[in-house]
Homo-oligomer: A and B are copies of this chain.
Amino acid sequence: MKRYLKTDEWNIIEDNFNADNLRMSESIFSLGNGRFGQRGNFEEPYSSDSYRGSFVAGVTFLDRTRVGWWKNGFPVFYSRIPNAADWSHISLRLIDEELDLAQWDVNTFNRRLDMKVGIAYRDVEVTSPKGNRLRIHVEHINNMAHPDLCIIKYNVTSINYTGKASLVPSLNAIVTNKDDEPNEKIWNILRSGATKDCAYLWTQTRREDAQVCYAMTYQFLKNGKETVANPIRIEKEQQAGFSLGAGMKPGDNITLIKYTAITTSLYYERQNLIDHSIAQAQQAKTTGWDTLVSHHLQAWADIWNEMDVTIEGDPEAQQGIRYNIFQLCQTYRGDDPRLNIGPKGFTGEKYGGNTYWNTELCCVPFFQLSTPREIVKNLLTYRYNQLPKAIENARKLGFKDGAALFPQVTSNGEECHSEWEITFEEIHRNNIIVYAITQHAAMTGSKNYIAKYGLEVMIAISRFWSQRVSFSTPKQKYVILGVTGPDEYENNVDNNWYTNYSCVQCLRMTLKYLEAIAGEYPNDYARVRRATNLRQQEEAERWRDIIDRMYLPEDKELGIFVQHDGYLDKVLESTDAIPPEERPINQHWSWDRILRSCYIKQSDVLLGLYLYHSHFDEETIRRNFEFYEGMTVHESSLSPHIHAILAARIGKVEKAYQLFLHATRLDLDDYNNETHQGLHITSMPGSWLAIVRGFAGMQVLNKMLSFSPVIPDNWKSYSFKVNYRGRTLHIRVGKEISISLIAGEELSIQIYENVYSLKEGRELNYEL
């Protein structure tokens, strides 16, 4: 835990400069616009410990896989989004000094991320080693309305300085990636240079040949008036820009507005990239700062109108949930099925910007409910497009007949991970993909996606399970041997309850939708059957047999599902038995010690109870929650919100609140001592789900939207919107629950046990 940021409902504020917090703040103040983003690095150079990072969505690099001992099935190369050129670079030079917060005295310091408008502000007063005092004011915008545009305003006021001051904006390809081998080269510079007022840098990733082109132009003002600064061009191989100078005296100020266009080969023809990006940068200058900002503000206003959650009475929770929504939305826009969401988004190199099951577990249910836009369809299509590679991936591991294993980590559909216990064994990941498909049908009320795309994925995954299970003679049941469940603090276990249970659900859903699509979409059914060579009767029979005779470990005496075979042989202790200085255990304990302990990294059995909630009664949930929660260390960011939701459901509101806070302020309060590496972008929607699915108790029971709200003691109210089958509802929970239908046709809903009909424009009030 680390708390030094100010609490504010709409702003993230750091009002004191402490170099020890710099890496964490650089993560926290990250900015993005769905197409690119960067850590909250100072624009000017910083000569001490810092972690600079700029990333461009979908632009990957093929790196050599490094492992100690090779295993058959490991990928030779793995794809990742590398640290790109730094397009925010602006240095400030006095006659013989250069601004550097690591070397200069920082008299006052304030930075503020205004989440309502998506602007990062920085105000600093500094004294140089030679005694020159300056005030710096910076505004940084990754424009949400103009997906190729980053605009920065950099203003310098002299307090006591007299002399020439230069601002030097540039595009800088001299970057290092933390994970690199010393001599590894990632970026080829194809061309760099400068025209009269526009600098450009054209780059390409090695082996994958993805291209990014940057172009920048500028306005330079002295005391608010645009001025000719006698620009000096900077044209180095890896850096292009301008040096812009003006004489200053105390009270004078100079301002640089840097307009940078960032374009990639994902969206533009390669041969046009330079021309196009130069044109974009120049167009931006013509449009001007104020107009560009107003477009940006409107884009954020639209997002908040859809997705904002209010919490009265708890500014920390309010700040946290908005921060999470803000960060997710500036990472991923949902408009391109080629893109997905890396666990760290644009905020760090870890996880390589790749796609994990985090997306389906945490982001899909958020987007499904929080917006009427078809974002989820794009996320599902992303996987559908990678189905052939998932089949190939399974084939490499010895599976056949069109069985698919989706990768644990991927950008292009190929497996990018090389730890056998994860790559080959964390195979439950297949099931959340089927879960996401069927939830999409349930929430939209349409089987259309399944008929057109989803069914093929479901068949391929069911075929995987059909080959992956084996029959145990002593148990006379199907078993799934050698897996890693969601709790990655257990490896290569047999019969992970969650894996076995979700496998059964997967097969069940495939059978259900096969029948439904055959009836309702006969042409699609025929097409899919041909395309997959489905031997319907034979395969369905096998699947039914597995459903009927799957082994699901359970301890009747304790009344719980057993995480996996042998779990109860462990010494079962509460997490309270771990000395606080040894938390998180993954930073202090050797792996074998973690493995043989009872401690659970993240929700495992409880994950199943959350996902398939309608299958289990409250008493079952309570017993399992009470058994497992105390042993869960929540060292995965995907965990606390699930426990929060279950806790709320069984009436443990205070516990739910603590877990909600953990999920919500994970990065702001640095629960796991790792915020400095980047933010937990894909887990951020968990806090939204904890409110909607947890406190408000939203479920779909018998196809009816249902709420059974609770409210933490210290909250006055909370409110949010949800979208369901074409309707948008607004829900406010305070002393009473108020639900109104903002858009869409009349709808029956359930509050606790009672059913109501909801009409557009009418608010339903229900005393809590």
Contact = CB atoms under 8 A, between A and B. Distances in A.
Interface of A: 65-69, 71-73, 181-183, 396-398, 417-421, 424-425, 470-475, 479, 481-482, 491-494, 565-566, 568-572, 586-593, 595-596
Contacts of A473: 568-569, 572
B398 A590 contact: yes
A591 B397 CA distance: 8
Nearest to A588: B72
Contacts of A571: 470-471
A33 to B, nearest CB: 31
Contact of A470 (B72, B475, B586, B596): B596
Given A69-B419, A566-B494, A566-B565, A593 B398 contact: yes
Given A183-B183, A418-B68, A569-B494, A592 B475 contact: no
Given A71-B591, A396-B590, A592-B420, A566 B569 contact: no
Contacts of A69: 419
Contacts of A591: 71-73, 420, 424
Contact of A474 (B66, B398, B421, B569): B569
Given A470-B571, A481-B569, A568-B474, A491 B494 contact: no
A541 B590 CA distance: 28
Nearest to A73: B590
B566 A566 contact: yes
18 contacts: A66-B66, A68-B419, A72-B587, A72-B591, A73-B592, A182-B183, A425-B592, A471-B571, A472-B569, A473-B569, A475-B569, A479-B569, A481-B566, A481-B569, A482-B596, A491-B492, A565-B565, A566-B566
Contacts of A181: 181
A540 to B, nearest CB: 23
A565 B419 CA distance: 24
Nearest to A472: B569
Nearest to A566: B494
Given A183-B183, A471-B571, A492-B491, A72 B589 contact: yes
Q: Give 7 nearest A-B pairs by CB, closest first.
A: A73-B590, A424-B592, A482-B596, A472-B569, A481-B596, A71-B591, A397-B590
Nearest to A569: B472
Contacts of A590: 71-73, 396-398, 424
A82 B590 CA distance: 29
Contacts of A182: 183
A759 to B, nearest CB: 55
A71 B585 CA distance: 12
Contacts of A470: 570-571, 596
Contacts of A596: 470, 481-482
Contacts of A397: 590, 592-593
Contacts of A67: 66-68
A595 B423 CA distance: 14
B481 A570 contact: yes
Nearest to A420: B591
Nearest to A425: B592
Contacts of A72: 586-591
Nearest to A427: B592
A751 B543 CA distance: 61
A423 to B, nearest CB: 8
A502 B494 CA distance: 25
Nearest to A479: B569
Given A73-B591, A420-B591, 17 more contacts: A72-B588, A72-B591, A73-B590, A182-B183, A183-B183, A470-B571, A472-B569, A472-B570, A473-B568, A474-B569, A481-B569, A481-B595, A482-B596, A492-B595, A494-B566, A565-B565, A565-B569
A487 to B, nearest CB: 13
A415 to B, nearest CB: 11
Contacts of A565: 565-566, 569
A590 B71 CA distance: 7
Contacts of A572: 473
B481 A398 contact: no
Nearest to A474: B568
A493 B71 CA distance: 19
B589 A398 contact: yes
A399 to B, nearest CB: 9
A181 B183 CA distance: 10
Contacts of A592: 73, 397, 420, 424-425, 482
Nearest to A557: B474
Contacts of A472: 568-570
A424 B590 CA distance: 8
Contacts of A471: 571
A544 to B, nearest CB: 21
Nearest to A471: B571
Contacts of A474: 568-569
Contacts of A66: 66-68
A417 B571 CA distance: 28
A396 B591 CA distance: 11
Nearest to A480: B596
Interface centre among A397, A420, A492, A592 (most CB of B within 10 A): A592
Nearest to A470: B571
A103 to B, nearest CB: 32
A589 B418 CA distance: 15
A587 B492 CA distance: 21
A565 B396 CA distance: 29
Contacts of A494: 566, 569
A561 to B, nearest CB: 16
A590 B399 CA distance: 10
A424 B592 CA distance: 6
A566 B470 CA distance: 13
A464 to B, nearest CB: 12
A593 B491 CA distance: 15
A522 B668 CA distance: 63
User: Which residue among A473, A481, A572 has the maximum number of chain B CB atoms within 10 Å of its CB?
Assistant: A481
Max chain B C-beta neighbours (<10 A), residue from A419, A491, A590 = A590
A72 B183 CA distance: 26
A133 B468 CA distance: 62
A590 B424 CA distance: 8
A66 B64 CA distance: 12
